[in-house]
Amino acid sequence: MSLKKSELIEKNQYELTFDVDRATFDAAVDKAYRRSVKNINIPGFRRGKAPRSIIEKMYGTGVFYEDAINDIIPAAYTEAAKESGLEIVSHPEFDVETIDENGVILKAKVFVKPEVQIENYLGIEATRTLTPVTDADVDAEIEKVRARNSRMIDVTDRAAENDDIANIDYEGSVDGVPFDGGKAEGHDLKLGSGQFIPGFEDQIVGHVIGDEFDVNVTFPTEYHAEELAGKAAVFKVKLNALKFNELPALDDEFVRDVSEFDTLDEYKADIKAKLEEKNAKMADNAVEEQLLEALIGKLEADIPEAMYETETENFVRDYDNRLRMQGLDLATYFKYTGMNLDMMRQQMRPQAEKQVKTRLALEKIAVLENLTVSDEEVEAEYARIAEAYGMEIAKVKETVDADSIAADMKVKKAVDLVKEKAVVTDAAPAADAE
């Protein structure tokens, strides 16, 4: 198996011509025969026992050629592609040129990475907007922790109030006629949450457990059920039970229960520091996004459609993998969202295009700036990946080759260089500026 010719047939598209010797091809044909013969009936022979020569005489000499070629193509193409030295970015389109006493000559059309030009990529201007952390932000974070540590208390000695959880039976009607979806028993509703039609929850407030009463409301004119939009409705309601979330007292004892700190002031200071770190990271990420957008604008390249299609498929595959980790799959996701594969591809295409352009720009910068990655850096990255995923380094190396690791690290170095040389101006958030 060897590459005979690598020919540029149009911009960014090559045709590889490679061959497979006759002995290898004959072995593949014999393998295809042995795999298929058990399903072939030939008069005068027991099922699966007909000689290859008889089958070929009846159905033609090339009866097993297609299966044989499909068997030999992967290894032969992989070797030819490697020998060509091309950076192939598409699935190949195969064609059989000849089959004769010397073997098989095959052709594969492939797209390669385009030539890329980029200038003025150092010194890009960007704006860094850092949102300050307020006392209200800190208090909001603490309230989340209090809510997670709350306990549900039954209400037995007062009327319903906003923020209570009311357990109710209800049945709604319009002009005295019940409507679909308007009835439930034992439904838990947090009063004041706005989950129900405007005015519904307000009319439960003030009632006590055991009360049976009417709730009069009007459906919004933009209601999703058109037959009810804008209609006046009456709900027969029974209040079965009331509960409320009791929040823990905000004191030093609470702080010791939920953190490693002893006092509320220490706890607040730590939360503020973490929020400031989070906001700083968000501001830095926004700067990086501005810089990458600028690089895309400076990129000059005739990018093959195949690169966008391949990256889009990668996005779909990654999304499917994430769904499977949650016990779902694409088929289930499509069922509940009304989407299909083409719609998902269309949705993911813009981000895929952005990813392709960004990668090409950064790879070119890495070349222009002679960015390199040492063997020690590659080993350190293997160790980092192994630790992050709880794998042995040897297993990581089986999954990801060193060249791919090095290529990714060069891209990261290019990002770091662009960020280091950028001209970044700090700015206050728009609301503060006013």
Tens digits of per-residue pLDDT, 267-304? 999 999 999 999 999 999 999 999 999 999 999 999 99
The structure's pTM equals 0.75
Confidence band of 434 (pLDDT split at 50, 70, 90) = very low
* Domains with residue ranges and CATH for the chain: 2-112 (3.30.70.1050), 151-246 (3.10.50.40), 262-433 (1.10.3120)
**Token code pair at residue 112:** 């390669």
Angle between helices 52-59 and 22-36 (to 10 degrees): 90
d(CA 21, CA 27): 10
Q: Which two tokens stand for residue 265?
A: 């002031």
Nearest-angstrom CA–CA distance, 409 and 406: 5
Out of 222-226, 376-380, 387-391, the most confident range is 376-380
Percent of the chain with pLDDT over 90: 84
Average pLDDT, integer, range 359-383: 96
CA separation, residue 4 to residues 23, 24, 84, 85 (Å): 18, 17, 10, 13
3-state secondary structure of 366: helix
